[in-house]
């Protein structure tokens, strides 16, 4: 009997099952969308919920991947016209809205340029100006999306030789869907990180704030600042920066965030942009867009209030943050004012 009790105690400790069940914490790691994703959920429903969330990630990857034969995006880029899932159609529509609201800084039609710079294949090279001019002529025309049948499926047509790439927004969208899936399975508290796209749900079980680190934008893997987020509903924290994917040629660094106006990696005074928002898709799209805009335009955009978000900008001069976010950094944090 004593041995049985001891075994039960050990099992309870291993599971981390507390009296309320709330302290039960389950984590899993998934490799999808070319990145490592970590999912942690709390509570009694956590185990089953994580399995459902993993399936959702794989399902979305199969629809949104640019390279996987048969995905919606693959079919579109190859056939110019396709019937796509609700996820893909909805995301293309949302991306089009962000393109319009950011004056074209965010644009999923940059794919011909991504190909030219060799990012998808990994065969990086600096293209000639006339190649860039040629590719630019296929950038900037929005895909035509129309809803089909009331089941969410859409018919999409790509104008001219346009090709789309959802890489700047798909992970943020997926993090949102993952939190939805976890909530449907009964989870109230979770933290997920999809290759740097962080999604937080609910309040931390011990009542303390969630802490999300912002990486030093030099590729060292060290942190430059950390955010304290009280939580409650869903919060998404997404960072874009040149340090995340790049190559060097003749001593110059060429990164993966393309300015759709010039066709070159964005010439920006920002080293990284972190967006904090209740909407994961917007957080991802905006982190890419504001990086392209540069500091001055990014601040103007935030002040204009088209989207509801907080942000942290890292530049050579230091750390700049909007008033609604708690940031700790070794360097001084300059507060951005709502009025310019």
Binding span for ligand AMP by CB under 6 A among 136-144, 201-209, 285-293, 327-335: 285-293
* For helices 280-293 and 170-184, angle between their N-to-C axes, nearest 10 degrees: 160
Looking at the chain, how many residues does it have? 340
Specify the DSSP element, H or E, that contains 200. strand 197-201
The H-assigned helical ranges of 65-169 are: 72-79, 86-101, 111-116, 129-136
State the Cα–Cα distance between residues 213 and 224, nearest whole angstrom.
Answer: 8
- For position 43 contacting Mg ion by CB under 5 A, the verdict is no
Residue that has been written with the tokens 């796209």 in this structure: 197
Closest CA to 166 of 73, 271, 71, 260: 73
Q: Closer CB to ligand AMP, residue 75 or residue 288?
A: 288
- Is residue 112 part of the contact set for ligand AMP (CB under 6 A)? no
Stretch that binds ligand AMP, among 100-108, 123-131, 206-214, 313-321 (CB under 6 A): 100-108
Q: Does 257 contact ligand AMP by CB under 6 A?
A: yes
Among residue numbers 146 through 185, which ones bind Mg ion (CB under 5 A)? Answer: 168
- The whole-angstrom separation of Cα 339 and Cα 130 is 42
At residue 230, the 3 state secondary structure works out as coil
Applying CB under 6 A, which of residues 61, 72, 165, 215 lies at the interface with ligand AMP?
165
Q: Calculate the CA 19 to chain-centre distance.
A: 36
> Counting contacts by CB under 6 A, is residue 181 touching ligand AMP?
no
Within 292-311, the residues that bind ligand AMP by CB under 6 A are 292
Q: Rounded to the nearest whole angstrom, what is the least distance from the CB of residue 205 to ligand AMP in the complex?
A: 30
Radius of gyration of the chain (CA): 21
**Tokens read off for 29:** 């790691």
Tell me: does residue 287 bind Mg ion (CB under 5 A). yes
Does residue 114 touch ligand AMP according to CB under 6 A?
yes
* Shortest CB 198 distance to ligand AMP, Å: 13
Residue 284 binding Mg ion, by CB under 5 A: yes
Residue from 96, 143, 167, 202 in contact with ligand AMP (CB under 6 A): 167
CA–chain centroid gap for 147, Å, is 25
Binding footprint of ligand AMP on the chain (CB under 6 A): 106-108, 110, 114, 165, 167-168, 240, 244, 256-258, 260, 284, 287-288, 292
Binding footprint of Mg ion on the chain (CB under 5 A): 168, 284, 287-288
């Amino acid at each position: 009997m004593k041995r049985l009790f001891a075994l039960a105690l050990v099992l309870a400790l291993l599971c981390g099952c507390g009296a309320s069940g709330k302290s039960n914490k389950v984590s899993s790691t998934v490799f999808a969308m070319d990145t490592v994703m970590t999912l942690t959920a709390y509570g009694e429903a956590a185990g089953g919920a994580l399995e459902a969330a993993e399936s959702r990630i794989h399902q979305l990857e199969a629809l949104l991947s640019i390279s996987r034969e048969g995905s919606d995006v693959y079919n579109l880029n190859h056939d110019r016209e396709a019937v796509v899932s609700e996820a893909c159609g909805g995301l293309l529509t949302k991306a089009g809205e962000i393109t319009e609201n950011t004056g074209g800084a965010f644009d999923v039609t940059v794919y011909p340029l991504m190909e030219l710079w060799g990012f998808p294949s990994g065969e990086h090279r600096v293209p000639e100006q006339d190649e860039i001019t040629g590719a630019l002529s296929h950038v900037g025309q929005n895909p035509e999306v129309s809803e089909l049948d009331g089941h969410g499926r859409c018919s999409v047509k790509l104008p001219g030789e346009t090709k789309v790439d959802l890489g700047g927004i798909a992970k943020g969208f997926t993090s949102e869907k993952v939190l939805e899936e976890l909530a449907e399975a009964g989870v109230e508290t979770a933290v997920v990180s999809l290759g740097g796209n962080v999604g937080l749900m609910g309040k931390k079980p011990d009542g303390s704030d969630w802490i999300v680190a912002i990486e030093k934008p030099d590729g060292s893997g060290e942190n430059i600042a950390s955010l304290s987020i009280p939580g409650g509903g869903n919060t998404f924290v997404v960072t874009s920066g040149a340090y995340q994917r790049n190559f060097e040629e003749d001593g110059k660094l060429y990164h993966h965030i393309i300015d759709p106006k010039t066709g070159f990696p964005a010439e920006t005074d920002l080293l990284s942009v972190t967006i904090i928002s209740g909407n994961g898709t917007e957080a991802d799209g905006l982190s890419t867009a504001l990086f392209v805009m540069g500091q001055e335009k990014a601040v103007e955009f935030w002040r204009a209030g088209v989207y509801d978000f907080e942000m942290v900008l890292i530049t050579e001069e230091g750390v700049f943050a909007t008033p609604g976010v708690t940031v700790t950094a070794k360097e001084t944090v300059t507060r951005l004012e709502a009025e310019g």
